A = this chain, B = another copy of it.
Amino acid sequence: MEEKNKRQPPSNEEFMPHLAYDSVIFGFNGKQLKILVLEYHNTDFFALPGGFVKRDESVDDAVKRGLRERTGLENIYLEQFHTFGDVSRPAPDVMRTILMNNGYEVKHDYWMFDRFVSIAYYALINYEEVSPLPDELSDSINWYSLDELPSLMMDHQQIVDKALETLRENLDKKLVGMNLLPQKFTMKNLQKVYEAVLGEKLRRTSFQRKMLSKDILVRHEKLFNGGAHKAPYLYSFKSKIVKEPEKV
């Protein structure tokens, strides 16, 4: 490639050393659960959107900042699920390749080559409302189905696995559907979310009865979607009573 201007990378005066976050951003396209994966410039490295924590910023806020920059969304449902602290995590060679291929001039002992502990969060966003933006270091940021993920760098596949595991455990108690669907949705839409998260088919009648008995849904007008059949009702979540743990 041609010579680029050598740029100065971020100084570690702004950020906490050894501390990073990674985010598993879930979206739902109506059929499948997907996550956002980015690809670094001029490398074959696929990674989760992550970043560093500023010295005067809480970890939660750092993650929110990263999500805002990449999705444009302000109010994102966020859940911290695990912190990855193995000594085998650091991959200075990977980091060096990424920075060098982005035209940065980095010293041998640059802070990003140190060991990092990563605090991992998952986010739930409305797939339709967002057009993800690649950051400065990335070529692209795209939705991938969980069963068609590219090979992810470092321990990011492990992070995805743990995120999905936690999402499944939280499915009933955290009203996951609310954050993956548009405000109004049919019972079938909601069932598809459950099926995508759990990875299994559910029985229609039992699911409907269970959801209606929970007293969390409000029924609205019918949706005439052009199908040659009875029109389904639209529902929304009886929100605002709900616990919203990690909103901006």
Contacts and interface: CB of A to CB of B under 8 A. Distances in A.
A199 interface: no
A115 B82 contact: no
Contact of A55 (B16, B56, B115): B115
Contact of A60 (B56, B60, B85): B85
A57 interface: yes
Contact of A85 (B55, B88, B119): B119
A117 B80 CA distance: 14
Q: How large is the interface on A (under 10, 10 to 19, 20 to 34, 35 or more residues)?
A: 20 to 34
A83 B88 CA distance: 20
A19 interface: yes
Interface string A48-65: 000001011111100000
Given A18-B17, A18-B19, A19-B19, A85 B53 contact: yes
A78 to B, nearest CB: 13
A54 to B, nearest CB: 9
Contact of A18 (B18, B60, B83, B87): B18
How many copies of this protein are present in the complex?
Answer: 2
Nearest to A56: B87
A69 interface: no
A86 interface: yes
Interface in A1-40: 16-19
B83 A119 contact: yes
Nearest to A17: B17
A228 B153 CA distance: 65
B83 A58 contact: no
